[in-house]
Chain A
C-alpha cells in the first residue's frame, strides 16, 4: 500500500529526513516512533505531497507522490494533533466543504455523514458551529473529515495530543479498526504505549534516520529489552546517532 525508498528531505543545512525506507501493507497499522525532531512529521508531509523530497521516492496506493500528487491526495486522509477547524462553520458545513473538494456529490456526502455518525457518534457536532466545540467534539469532526472520502491510507500525526482520556480512547479504537483488509494506517507518535497497543509494525526514527523497522515484539527481541521504551533507547544508542548528537552539541 505504501512503499518508501531512500526518502530524503533537507531544509538548508539540516537533513530532516535522511534516506528513510519502509513498506506498509494493506490491513496494517504502521507506527512511526520517535522523539520531537526525529523527522516523523516531515516524512508524513512528504508522503502527503505537502513537501517535495530532495531524494528517494515513495508511492501510495500505486501513485508516485512526486509525479501524481492529486491521485495521492485522493488516496489519503490526514489527522493531526492541531484539531484545526473553521470556527464559524458547523460540523456538517465543514464536512460538505471537504466533500466538495474531494468531488463527492451532495447526496454522497450526506450518506457518508450518516455512516460516520454511526461510527464516531457525531450527534451534537453536525449542526453546531465548531467554535463552540469541546476538544472531543473537535476531534470527531477532524477524524470524520479525514475519512469522509474513504481513503485507502490514513495518516495520524500525534493525533491524541491534548485529548482527554475518553476522546483519546475513541481515536485509538477507530484507528485500530480502520484498516480492515484493504486499507492502511500510519500512526506517528512519541508515545510508546500507543505503538504497543496499535501497531503491527513500527519504524523507529531518530535524527531523520530509521534505526529499526520491525514488529513491537521483534524490536524488543532485537534490543533484548523487556519494554518498548527500553528497546527504543537501546536501538538509538546502538545506531550511534545519539553520540553524534552529543558530539555536535
Chain B
C-alpha cells in the first residue's frame, strides 16, 4: 500500500465533494442546526407552551353550576379557570367552544352536605393535548375538594384522617446527575450521529463508485498504475471524512447550541415547563470525556457505514441505482436506535456490546449518561474495528470483480 497514492485519491474525492454545494448544506449546515433544534429547541418550546397553558386563565363549561358547592367552585377557580354556565357541557366541548367541561348532578351540594355520595362528570376530548391539560385542572380541583370532604367527615366522626394512609410512600431517585440531566430523549444523540454518518457519506460514496462507473472514469482510473487496494482505501477515507464531518457537526451543534439555548431560555421558562425541558434533555451536561467517547464512537460508526456504502454502491450501474441501494441502509441504523429506546427492558448485559452498530449506540448513550465502563468500551471498539476490516476486505474484493466493475 503506497500512502501517497491513497492520499491523492482521497484528496481528489474530497475536493470533488466540497465543490458540490449540496454536500456543504447536507454535511455541515443541516447537522449543525438540526440536533439542537430537535433536542433542545423543541422541548424548550413545548415546555414553554405547557407552562403557559397551566398559568393562562381558561374558561371551562359547567352544566348545573347552581348545584356546585362554593368550596369546589373556589378550588376550580384556584386552578386558573373561570366557570361558564352552559345547558349542555358535552355539546359545548364537542363543538370546541370550551377545552373541557363539568357536569354537576342535581342535589350535589345537598347530598355532600348530608354525608351522602354525589357525582360529577369531567367532559374532555381525550385525544386533544390542550383539552387534557385543562381537564387536569378540573381533576386537581375535584380531587382537592374530595380530600377536604373526606377529612372533614372523619374528623366529625372523631377519626384522625391519617388513618386513610397507613403507609407513607416516597421515591428516592438514585440516578447520577448525568443520568438525571440526560433526559428521556438522550437516545436521539446516537441515533442522529449514526444517521448523519450515512447521510454525510453517501453522496461521496456513490459519486466515487457508481458515479465513476456511470461517467466511465472508473475504467480510466483503474488503467492507471494504481493498485485496487489503494483506490479502495483512498475512496473509503474520503467517505469517512464526510460521514464523520456530518456527525461531528451534529455533536458540535448539540454542544454549542445546547449551551446557548440552555443559558438563554431555560431560566426564563422555569416551573413545570423547565422541568419538562430538563426531562427531555434540555439540561444535558457534556464533559470532555463524554465528547471524547462520542468522537471515537462516531469515527467507528462513520468507518463502518463508509465501508458498507462502498461495498453496496459499487454494485450499481448508475448514481440513481446506487441511491435505491442506499435508502434501505438507513433501516440498519434505525432498528438499533429503536432498540436503544427500550434498552432498559431488553437489557444491556455484556452480550449487547458484541452486536455491531447497536453496541456503539449503547456506548454513546452510556457516554451521555456518564455510565460508560472500560470493558464495554474496549469490546465495542474491538467489534467495530473487526467489522470495518471485514467490510473493507469485501469492498476490495468487489473492486477486483470483473462482473461488478463492468456490470452494464
Smallest CB–CB gap between A64 and chain B, Å?
15
Residues of chain B within 8 A (CB-CB) of A86 are 12, 16, 215, 217
Residues of chain B within 8 A (CB-CB) of A76 are 223
Across the two chains, which residue of chain B brings its CB closest to A71?
A: B225
A49–B219 Cα gap in the complex (Å)?
10
Across the two chains, which residue of chain B brings its CB closest to A12?
A: B403
A145–B216 Cα gap in the complex (Å)?
14
Structural contact, B222 and A84, CB atoms closer than 8 A:
no
Residues of chain A within 8 A (CB-CB) of B8 are 97, 100-101
Structural contact, A89 and B12, CB atoms closer than 8 A:
yes
Structural contact, A101 and B220, CB atoms closer than 8 A:
no
Determine the interface band of chain B, counting residues with CB < 8 A from chain A.
20 to 34
> Given A84-B216, A89-B12, A89-B15, are A78 and B223 also a contact pair (CB < 8 Å)?
yes
Interface assignment of B405: CB less than 8 Å from any CB of chain A: yes
Structural contact, A78 and B219, CB atoms closer than 8 A:
yes
Structural contact, A82 and B12, CB atoms closer than 8 A:
no
Contact among B224, B227, B402 for A102, CB-based, below 8 A: B224
Interface assignment of B5: CB less than 8 Å from any CB of chain A: yes
Interface assignment of A50: CB less than 8 Å from any CB of chain B: yes
Interface assignment of A52: CB less than 8 Å from any CB of chain B: yes
A93–B12 Cα gap in the complex (Å)?
9
Structural contact, A84 and B220, CB atoms closer than 8 A:
yes
Contact among A48, A51, A101 for B402, CB-based, below 8 A: A51
Contact among B15, B20, B215, B405 for A84, CB-based, below 8 A: B215
* Chain B positions 213-244 with a Cβ under 8 Å from a chain A Cβ: 215-217, 219-227
Interface string of A203-230 (1 = CB under 8 A from B): 0000000000000000000000000000
Interface assignment of B373: CB less than 8 Å from any CB of chain A: no
Residues of chain A within 8 A (CB-CB) of B212 are 84
* Chain B positions 1-37 with a Cβ under 8 Å from a chain A Cβ: 5, 8, 12, 15-16, 19-20
> Given A85-B217, A89-B15, A100-B8, are A45 and B406 also a contact pair (CB < 8 Å)?
yes
A5–B272 Cα gap in the complex (Å)?
86
Interface assignment of A103: CB less than 8 Å from any CB of chain B: yes
Contact among A50, A74, A93 for B222, CB-based, below 8 A: A50
Contact among B5, B216, B223, B406 for A73, CB-based, below 8 A: B223
Contact among A84, A89, A101 for B224, CB-based, below 8 A: A101
* Chain A positions 45-77 with a Cβ under 8 Å from a chain B Cβ: 45, 48-52, 70, 73-74, 76-77
Smallest CB–CB gap between A96 and chain B, Å?
9
Determine the interface band of chain A, counting residues with CB < 8 A from chain B.
20 to 34
Interface string of B94-138 (1 = CB under 8 A from A): 000000000000000000000000000000000000000000000
Interface assignment of A83: CB less than 8 Å from any CB of chain B: yes
Structural contact, B225 and A101, CB atoms closer than 8 A:
yes
Across the two chains, which residue of chain A brings its CB closest to B214?
A: A84
Smallest CB–CB gap between A70 and chain B, Å?
5
Across the two chains, which residue of chain B brings its CB closest to A73?
A: B225
Interface string of B257-297 (1 = CB under 8 A from A): 00000000000000000000000000000000000000000
Interface string of A79-116 (1 = CB under 8 A from B): 01011111111000100011011110000000000000
Smallest CB–CB gap between A156 and chain B, Å?
13
Residues of chain B within 8 A (CB-CB) of A84 are 212, 215-217, 219-220
Smallest CB–CB gap between B241 and chain A, Å?
16
Residues of chain A within 8 A (CB-CB) of B226 are 101
Smallest CB–CB gap between A149 and chain B, Å?
9
Contact among B16, B223, B225, B406 for A89, CB-based, below 8 A: B16
A114–B216 Cα gap in the complex (Å)?
26
A87–B17 Cα gap in the complex (Å)?
11
A102–B215 Cα gap in the complex (Å)?
21
Residues of chain B within 8 A (CB-CB) of A78 are 219-220, 223
Contact among B5, B16, B406 for A101, CB-based, below 8 A: B5
A51–B404 Cα gap in the complex (Å)?
12
A100–B20 Cα gap in the complex (Å)?
23
A117–B45 Cα gap in the complex (Å)?
62
A-B contact pairs, 18 of them (CB 8 A): A50-B219, A70-B225, A78-B220, A80-B220, A84-B219, A85-B217, A86-B215, A86-B217, A87-B215, A88-B15, A88-B20, A89-B15, A93-B15, A97-B8, A98-B220, A98-B224, A100-B8, A145-B220
Binding site for B on A (CB under 8 A): 11, 45, 48-52, 70, 73-74, 76-78, 80, 82-89, 93, 97-98, 100-103, 129, 145-146
Smallest CB-CB A-B distances: 9 pairs: A82-B216, A84-B216, A84-B215, A88-B19, A84-B217, A101-B224, A73-B225, A88-B16, A70-B225
